[in-house]
Structure 1
């Protein structure tokens, strides 16, 4: 066990001991209660006798078939978190106390003043856009790809003949397992042999990890809290760290990419390095290659698909996008980008960057309750939504124009009325949910506030303009 782990375990142990010392769990009071809040359990709570409750249920099942037996709610163990009950005409009725409070709130005489409250978050962070860890809500990018695929007629011929391959270097680095004890030169040799065996003299484009990037929050999420120690490496040094831990350190990752790039160049592969996120550069190299020969971009990221749809030239050679084949995938999707553009139509392709970013990508938050396919569908059915999309496509749009267009676009996605305003819609949806729901309303289930939508809109605009870069 390392010294760092021992220190962490000791810190955790002391935290638990301090918590218990403050709350005195081992006292003479035999009642069942929560040591964190001090609230005593109702006499009906029997979760401490869960084993006896379970045995009773098992006994009641004896001699019955599965079709005959019905589990009854009254037989289950009752926890302190079970909804409280009130007696009406001698009958116990289960009640969610928070829901009861919310219903009394909207029924009170002062409820006409309640609307003004909904311009605030009602919690410590913008929960419709950020999760509890204060990271942007993780996007569901493959859903948009699925929605586009449903509109796309697959190219039955697929990729044929001689093609130039362009590879996403970030996905390539993650693809091959490392053997502990091998040297870094051995690892680079594995990569270069893999690339040349499958893709010949490919073009490989790598992300950059020096300085800040709009994708830093996504990198933090993917690292899962791991931060490996910095390694001063050379080719003949043996690998002693876990691959994921090594690559969680940006300095290590940049050093390895630089070393791998040199090995690939010796195999006549072309390598390019973006200063930050490489998605746009990858697509630019693929589009550039397609001007002279049929080209295949190998990648797994939906961002690459969206950028290809936007930037591809219909007058060029064939341009395909396909993921790296996996053993678990019987038949990977092969996207003929020119055919996709023709089937989506010029209007959708012109605004596909906004359609992707407004509902969440690696640099903008997923909007809680709005699926990735919703903006694509809304764009085809709503002239109001299409009007807002044009603002994000305009390079000279002012901040006020972007903020207004972003709020109106979100109103469309939530099926609000034009000019209603997100704060008013939040109040309206709260009242609707409280009146019909069987449990209390969570803040994230409401539309974002106008204040939160402002910064979401600015992030979307910034990302769209970055992706549009010629």
Structure 2
């Protein structure tokens, strides 16, 4: 602010070094057991410079050179949020919409999770009043529908997704009954899993009194929803009402071409003029048996609720790659095999990712990372973003394991598999994804990205100066300011030079 005094807006230029760094953009790495906070971009730049100065640069690209695998995880260490509707758009572009649409008598199957979110609550109403609103809404629009609810007891691979959707809001646990007035915000109430389960149980009873069939999954309900829709279609035309792309993909995989018509459509919204109506049998016929057999893998490899979106890889890319690459199709068969070993899955997963990143067969992700880094350095006008590089082989291993587990879960064959053996670990009462089994960089590199000098960092005893790296906020004593090896010191020297007579610029 002081530097702005006396200058016009046309004269003043913001300097990168003056930009405030927020806590949300910071991450930490452990060096000799101590957690050191460092900006993600700065950490990547300093580690690559240190690697280039001290050893073969290609050999260190098997490490992320970041505090976390940034191609798979965002700064909050959550899986990168998938862009699931993009895959639906890609399939819709190949699909000829059913012009007749849904006609005549049909059986409706509803996603209970989406239903719970759909109706606003009025504070002051009793929970019985709220349940009555839901049951009247369902019977008025869908008659005696089948409603399938998620379960919220115990751990699940969707724990992280639930935390993201809650947005940090977790309401207090409410011991509720039907005649208790609603005093809490709906979102806060439903962010508490105990509250949500209690309300679902209460709502289920009210729906049953209206002759609706209700079912409760032990965890995520997507597979059970689709199974009930496919089961219904064996005897009558059926419509599944839902908004989740996962349901569409599961219907494409599980639907029987010999059954009655099976449709998928979202809940109509005021802002939508004409909602999409998917005739699942027609979609399956147009996609072909090969794509439909491996559609679960195509969806999971590029990101769903339990697998990360690959930074820079669109959701439509795996569908296109499946139709053009025999190598990619070959890897997909491994994920469709119920008895595949972890070693087979890891190998097939890395080869599949190589295809998506347009690498050469057998090249390896670590080698491709180094190659892409060199290409970007040679052509880019700014520093390389670490997330723009493919993930390391060590991080891709756990991504592949999670993809396999999710595919088997969607197929209904996951009962004999433990998520802890397929890319997940227990933490804070829930399941979280394993990021990698390697440190951010070799320990010798981590030690040189910051100095512990107690002098002015002017000699080669300073590890930063020795490796031609400016001191930074990570340095234990100087904190990147007030020493002879900092950007601030260099800027002060330049300002002094400008004041000396005879200097021409």
In which range does the TM-score fall when normalised by the shorter chain?
0.7 to 0.9
Q: Matched residue of 1:457: which SS?
A: helix
C-alpha displacement of 1:78: 17
Distance 2:29 2:405 in 1: 53
TM-score normalized by structure 1?
0.77
TM-score normalized by structure 2?
0.72
Distance 1:223 1:80 in 2: 21
> 1:207-238 CA deviation, whole Å, 9 max, x = no partner?
00011111111100000000100000000000
Q: 1:78 to 1:128 in 2, by over 3 A?
A: closer
Q: 1:312 to 1:74 in 2, by over 3 A?
A: closer
Structure 1: which 5+ runs fail to align? 1-57
* Contact 1:105-1:111 at 8 Å conserved across structures: no
Distance 1:210 1:99 in 2: 42
Query: Structure 1 residues 188-197 or 437-446, which shifts more?
Result: 437-446
Residue of structure 1 in register with 2:63 after alignment:
120
Structure 2: which 5+ runs fail to align? 410-423, 425-499
Residue of structure 1 in register with 2:99 after alignment:
156
Q: 1:185 to 1:103 in 2, by over 3 A?
A: closer
Q: 1:383 to 1:76 in 2, by over 3 A?
A: closer
Distance 2:27 2:239 in 1: 60
Q: Matched residue of 1:81: which SS?
A: helix
C-alpha displacement of 1:62: 25
* Contact 1:99-1:434 at 8 Å conserved across structures: no
The size of the alignment, in residue pairs, is 412
Q: 1:378 to 1:315 in 2, by over 3 A?
A: same
Residue of structure 2 in register with 1:49 after alignment:
none
Q: 1:380 to 1:65 in 2, by over 3 A?
A: farther
> 1:25-62 CA deviation, whole Å, 9 max, x = no partner?
xxxxxxxxxxxxxxxxxxxxxxxxxxxxxxxxx99999
C-alpha displacement of 1:113: 1.0
* Contact 2:29-2:67 at 8 Å conserved across structures: no
* Contact 1:99-1:439 at 8 Å conserved across structures: no
Q: Matched residue of 1:297: which SS?
A: strand
Q: Matched residue of 1:341: which SS?
A: helix
> 1:418-441 CA deviation, whole Å, 9 max, x = no partner?
000000000000000011011100
C-alpha displacement of 1:93: 34
Distance 2:117 2:94 in 1: 31
C-alpha displacement of 1:64: 24
C-alpha displacement of 1:286: 0.1
Q: Matched residue of 2:148: which SS?
A: strand
Query: Structure 1 residues 59-68 or 226-235, which shifts more?
Result: 59-68
Distance 1:80 1:399 in 2: 37
> 1:239-279 CA deviation, whole Å, 9 max, x = no partner?
00000000000000000000000000000000000000000
Distance 1:168 1:85 in 2: 40
Distance 1:189 1:394 in 2: 46
Distance 2:79 2:41 in 1: 27
C-alpha displacement of 1:354: 0.2
Q: 1:87 to 1:264 in 2, by over 3 A?
A: closer
C-alpha displacement of 1:97: 15
* Contact 1:192-1:264 at 8 Å conserved across structures: yes
* Contact 2:135-2:207 at 8 Å conserved across structures: yes
* Contact 1:391-1:402 at 8 Å conserved across structures: yes
Residue of structure 1 in register with 2:382 after alignment:
439
RMSD: 8.9
Q: Matched residue of 1:108: which SS?
A: helix
